[in-house]
Structure 1
Amino acid sequence: MTQRLASDLLAEAERALADAGIGQPRREARWLLAHALGLEPAGLLGLGRHAPVEADAFVQLVRRRSARVPLAYLTGRQGFWTLDLAVSDATLIPRADSETLIEALLQARQDRGQVRRILDLGTGTGCLLLAALAEYPQAWGVGMDLSEAAARLASRNAAGNALADRSAFLCGDWADAVGLPGGGFDVVLSNPPYIPHDDIATLMPEVAVHEPMQALDGGDDGLAAYRLLMPILARLLAPAGLAVLEIGIGQATDVSRLGTEAGLATVAVRADLGGVDRAVLLTRTS
């Protein structure tokens, strides 16, 4: 093992990350050092800049981050809403933009006893379902994902956030999702793949190279998943149920049209903190 001064390691890491085009290289260097030492980032304050630390693991993390491996994949953790989630390269990394769906749901269903049955299609880490369950304490939910590794990770996240007793995670295709006796789900959440295929190569390397392609690629126009999803929603929603879907830039009109063609009505479109339309809310028309 090689020991180095923490101050020297951080300075070298900051330069390497900046040269690699990483935004906020100083902050990321500190996060990586804390992770390598098994500390929370605030724990570095008590360590002292001139403390000798074991360098090898940290240097390897900096090399991987300089190669544009996402920070969350290196630390294995990501915050979302009120949750602390495990992440892996089997899933998209939860993003603040997706919290717009939870905000929209809370505004549309303010009575916390009104939501009892929730379905999350393409659950990934389970972030949407688990955030909704945390806000609706009388609800239970099911998350589905094509990836068995994602479904297993979501199940672990449910346990880690004390929500395992109100959730179940299944590996399967959306078309395999089954309805419920008594009228269907009160809420269906989904963050489907919506990036047009030819646009994926233009994304930052953290996304284009490292995040799972099946969770990104929305086909030629970015709408392929919605064409599959809308008839499923019409079948799975309860009569007064609500679907809350994440969308990409400029997709609100097309997604609403696809919903109309499947017997769904758009009741709201919600923008994220950047002012981009990010969530479409739909209900059954009959």
Structure 2
Amino acid sequence: MSSSLKDLRRLFIADLSEAGVDNPDLDVDLILSHFMGVDRSWIHCHGEFSVEGVTLDSMKAAVLRRKDREPLHYILGSCPFWGKSLSVRSGSLIPRPETEFLVEAALRDFNGGTFVDWGTGSGCIACAILSDRPEAFCIAVDSEASAIEVAYGNLQREGVLNRCLLWHCSTPESIPLASGTVDLVVSNPPYIPSEDVPSLMPEVSRYEPRSALDGGPDGLDPYRMLLPWAERVLRPGGLLWVEFGGTDQVRSLTEMTPSGLSLLDMRDDLSGVPRLMGWRRV
């Protein structure tokens, strides 16, 4: 049995609205576009088009998953980041737009050399920096084997895998690096306090890997490992850039800064919330 595109769109939007999904119109358009292989304008100009068969079944299944609040990017299997379309799936954090600011900050004074992407997830940061800096070499680290697998695929598709070593471990000290050998450390670590994770929107709390979200009781456990390690492995003049959880964490991050790191800059996200902090190895 077939259905017109216009009727399907109306029905799917109603389903997602009932489930409390933000921007149901956009999500439905993206689902329809993905499975039909057309752009959004085509969807809106061909309302009487008849949809049937496998395409119809696939779209219905996708809408049911989204109705259950599964993230749209997991359903579609990809996410835009830094002008690229990166593969994502359950087990790796979905790249956020604000993390592009982290890439931008890291690139400002980094023209090449060795950098470490701590908590690489989908490999989005590594892919972006390696693509923009042909003379760079990356060590991309994650504690989750599933994330390493996703990052491997993205690095390979972007043509930069030959300049990246993927390392599976849970502490930075497990990376065999000598002191003073790294030009840049960049990280978007888990920084949400443990007790706040269950109250996040369902797309995040129920589907994204807790290991990429939960930063311990105050959200700062990863930085307690990362800052002293970065002080050791960064060469003089080397840079450390991290994303963090906002105003409540600024003072603590400042106080835990080792003597060998000098605070370079702090930047806000689009909402005006402090989100990035950078240091230089003295």
Q: TM-score range by the shorter chain?
A: over 0.9
| 1:5 aligns to 2:21 (yes or no) | no
| 1:163 aligns to 2:160 (yes or no) | yes
Which residue in 2 is equivalent to 1:273? Answer: 270
Contact 2:29 2:43 in 1 (8 A): no
Which residue in 1 is equivalent to 2:86? Answer: 85
Measure the CA separation in 2 of the matches of 1:75 and 1:41. 14
Contact 1:80 1:94 in 2 (8 A): yes
Contact 1:184 1:238 in 2 (8 A): yes
* TM-score, reference length from structure 2: 0.93
Contact 1:246 1:278 in 2 (8 A): yes
Deviations 1:182-237 (A, max 9, x none): x3111111111100111112210001111000111111111111112112111221
Aligned residues: 277
1:175 Cα deviation after fit: 2.4
| Structure 2: gaps spanning 5 or more residues | none
Residue 28 of structure 2 aligns to a residue whose secondary structure is: helix
Is the deviation greater in 131-140 or in 172-181? 172-181
1:46 Cα deviation after fit: 8.9
Contact 1:100 1:271 in 2 (8 A): no
| 1:73 aligns to 2:71 (yes or no) | no
Which residue in 2 is equivalent to 1:244? Answer: 241
Contact 1:100 1:278 in 2 (8 A): no
Contact 1:34 1:43 in 2 (8 A): no
Describe the shift of the 1:13–1:45 C-alpha distance in structure 2 as closer, same or farther (beyond 3 A). Answer: closer
1:180 Cα deviation after fit: 4.8
Measure the CA separation in 1 of the matches of 2:182 and 2:267. 21
The match for 1:199 among 170, 182, 196 is 196
Which residue in 2 is equivalent to 1:24? Answer: 23
Measure the CA separation in 1 of the matches of 2:46 and 2:178. 57
Measure the CA separation in 2 of the matches of 1:260 and 1:253. 14
1:47 Cα deviation after fit: 7.6
| Structure 1: gaps spanning 5 or more residues | none
Residue 89 of structure 1 aligns to a residue whose secondary structure is: coil
Which residue in 2 is equivalent to 1:129? Answer: 126
Deviations 1:107-150 (A, max 9, x none): 344xx3xx211110110001111111122121111101111111
